[in-house]
Structure formats: C-alpha cells, structure tokens
Structure 1
Amino acid sequence: MAIKFQYNKTALHNLNKQLKIRLKALPTLKNKEAALRLEVKKAKDRTVNLDEKLRKEMSGQEDSAGLWNEFLPELIQIDNIRVSSKKIAGVSVPVMEEIIFKEKDYSLFSSPNWFPPGISYAKELANIVIEREFYARKMALLDRARKKTTQKVNLYEKVQIPGYEDAIRKIKRFLEDEENLSKSAQKIVKKRQQKQKAATA
C-alpha cells in the first residue's frame, strides 16, 4: 500500500502521528490475537471432548437399544434454552446458562420402570449436544475475530508501519536537501555580493 504524502513539514507531522498510533496499537493487537488464539483452542478442545463424551454415552446404550423402541419421545421436550453473552478479548460470545425441559405426565404403573432414568438420560444427551453446539459457535466467532485481528496485525506490521517509516525518511531527506540547497544558494548570493562590493570599492 503506497502512502500518499506531500514533501512538507505538515505531512511529516501527520505521518509521524499516524506512525505513533500504529506503533502504540500493535502490542495490544498482538496480545488480543494471542488471547483469541488461546480461546479458540480451548473451545475446539471442549468441542472435541463433548463429541467424545456423546460417542461414549451413545455406545454405552447399544445393549438397551431395544428398550428405546418402547420410549415415548413426546414425554420430554426442550422448552427453553437460557442464554447469556460474555465478552472474550472484545468479542461477544453466547454462553449457555440452562436448558429448561418440559415433561409430560405419564403413568408410573403402566409405563416401564426404566422411563424415569430414560428421561434423565435423554436430558443428559440433549445437554451434551446443545453445549457442543454452543462451543462450536463460540469457536467460529472467536476464530473469525482472530483472523480479522491477524490481518490487522499483518497490515500494521508488514505494510503500514514500514510504509509510514519510508515516507517519513523520504520527506526528511527532501527537507534536508532543500535546506542544504537553500544554504548553498545563500552562500553563493553572499559571495556574489562580496565580489560586487569589492569590485565597486
């Protein structure tokens, strides 16, 4: 990215100001990027753990698969999921607070005696699946924010800061050359004037 500038002291002042802003912001952006990277890893690990937990829970029920044919799915349903949000490194992410289930009444006498633990098990599975979805969403949001932050770090570090430094160097050289030319011109004028004075005297 070529930085547009003019060869004068005002432009030099403005470029110095912009450079200072970026140099000051860069460490903060790097810290944010590192924090987001860590949070993305934590969310990914938690998602993988929940996947594993769900797989284990499901494989533990293979022997009782026949019993689930008797289960009435309408006995339990998700009524509501309470969600809050939390800021992590400046990024707002959803946090699952509580899952509220609605259970239908059923006859304890005419239903199989495994229905109550079956309902508890169904709730546990729903908790795992929903929590996993929340962590997957959290991971996606944080990763998107991390990518944007990485882009900004790279923009500052590899493009803008070197660009501003180069522009400042060019303006300083130009102003120094201009000052040297001015001094040289003044010396030449002074010598001419002295020669003229000497010639007229």
Structure 2
Amino acid sequence: MSRVSLSKTSLAKQNQALRTYERFLPSLDLKRRQLMAERAKEVAAQQQTRQRIAALRERVRETLPMLANTEVPLDDLVRLRGLRLGEENVLGARLPRLEEIDIQLADYGLLGKPHWVDTLVELLAEMLRLRVEEDLHDQRIAVLDAAVRKVTQRVNLFDKVLIPRTRDNIKRIRVYLSDAERAAIVRSKIAKNKRLRESLA
C-alpha cells in the first residue's frame, strides 16, 4: 500500500476516489444478485431435467420389462452424431446454449427385432437429449459460479478494503491538516505577541 501524502490535494483525490467507489459498489452488488438469480434459475432447470430423466427411467421400467431379455441385441440403436453449441451473454457471463443436436438412429429390420424396440429407440433418443441438456446445465452453472465468485470478490474489495481504507485516509489527512492549521495559528499568535513585545521594548 502506497503512503498517502497529507495534503489538501491528496484529500481531494481521496474524496473523489471514495465517491467513485461508493457509486460503483451498488451496481456491482446488483450484478452479483442478478447473477445469483440466474444461477438459481439454471439450478431449477437442471432439477427439472433430472426429474424428467428419472420419470423416463421409470417409464422404461414400467413399459419395457422385456429389456431383461438378453437374447435381443440392443447395442448401438441410438448414437449421438454431433451437437452444435452457441453462446449467450448473460450479465457478462458467456453461457453455452444448445442450438442443434444430431441423434442417429440405427437402421434395423422391422421383422428382425421385436415390436417394442421402436418404443425403446424413441425413449433412448429422448434420454440422450435429456443427458445432453443435463451436461449443458452443469456447464452453465459452472460458468455462473465463476462469474458470481469474481463479482463477489470485487464487491468485497470495494466494501471491505477500498472504501474503509479511503475513509481512514481521509480522516487521517483531515486530522493532520486540522493540527497543522491549529499549529500555524498558534505560531502566528506567538509571532504577533513577540513583535508586540519587541515594539514596546
């Protein structure tokens, strides 16, 4: 920390700095609260996706008990061929956004597989989409966590370090200037009294 000069110029600079810090602090705190609200929305969306995954699992368990039959080959029926992600700016945080998902369904003979495989393929494709959404929620929450952490550090820097330090500096400079002014007045009176005594002598 650099030493603050105890002068009127320094006092003016410190007052200006304090006004600037106090002007920026509310907007930083608002941004932090907005980011936290966005994070809460994302967590809620993630929970919804997880509930849909759990409901889909339950649906498979109830409607397709024949999956226990290991004699029917079910490998590679559904495959994620690719996905395209975009980006959205939310309060300065660049969040990934799913723009397109390409799911490949295997070609299989309708007579070579049991009738329930069609339903299974649809459910597997839906599960794959939900899994991609869940991963995306994880990524978005991680980016929002980092943004909240960064803004919180800035809020704490302003609130707990810069503003109190600047107020202390202003107080110290004012005390010094007040003492210096008092000392100057006292010196002036002493000098005046000395001149008066010398003129009378």
Give TM-score scaled by structure 1 length. 0.88
| 1:82-97 correspondence to structure 2 within 5 Å | 82-97=84-99
Gaps of 5+ in 2: none
Distance 2:199 2:58 in 1: 109
Q: CA deviation at 1:163?
A: 1.6
Contact 1:8 1:171 in 2 (8 A): yes
SS in structure 2 of the partner of residue 43 of structure 1: helix
SS in structure 1 of the partner of residue 16 of structure 2: helix
Q: CA deviation at 1:150?
A: 2.0
Q: CA deviation at 1:88?
A: 1.4
Distance 2:16 2:75 in 1: 66
Supply the AA of the counterpart residue of 1:66.
Answer: M
Does structure 1 residue 49 correspond to structure 2 residue 48?
yes
Q: Which residue in 2 is equivalent to 1:29? A: 28
Distance 1:91 1:4 in 2: 37
Q: Spell out, residue by residue over 1:138-171, the C-alpha distance to the aligned partner (whole angstroms, 9 max, x if none).
A: 1122122212222322232223212211110110
Q: Which residue in 1 is equivalent to 2:117? A: 115
Q: CA deviation at 1:3?
A: 7.0
Q: Spell out, residue by residue over 1:49-108, the C-alpha distance to the aligned partner (whole angstroms, 9 max, x if none).
A: 111111111011114142374353323211111111111121111111221112332223
Distance 1:198 1:104 in 2: 118
Contact 1:3 1:167 in 2 (8 A): no
CA RMSD, aligned part only?
Answer: 2.0
2:169 corresponds to which of 160, 167, 170: 167
Distance 1:20 1:96 in 2: 43
SS in structure 2 of the partner of residue 105 of structure 1: coil
Distance 2:128 2:4 in 1: 60
| 1:47-196 correspondence to structure 2 within 5 Å | 47-63=46-62, 64-67=64-67, 69=70, 70=72, 72-196=74-198
Supply the AA of the counterpart residue of 2:199.
Answer: K
Distance 1:103 1:57 in 2: 19
Aligned residues: 198
Contact 2:82 2:101 in 1 (8 A): yes
Q: Residues 162, 3 of structure 1: CA spacing in aligned structure 2 closer, same or farther, 3 A cutoff?
A: farther
Distance 1:20 1:3 in 2: 20
SS in structure 2 of the partner of residue 133 of structure 1: helix
Runs of 4+ in 1 over 6 A off after TM superposition: none
SS in structure 1 of the partner of residue 115 of structure 2: coil
Which range is displaced more, 69-78 or 186-195? 69-78
Supply the AA of the counterpart residue of 1:98.
Answer: E
Gaps of 5+ in 1: none
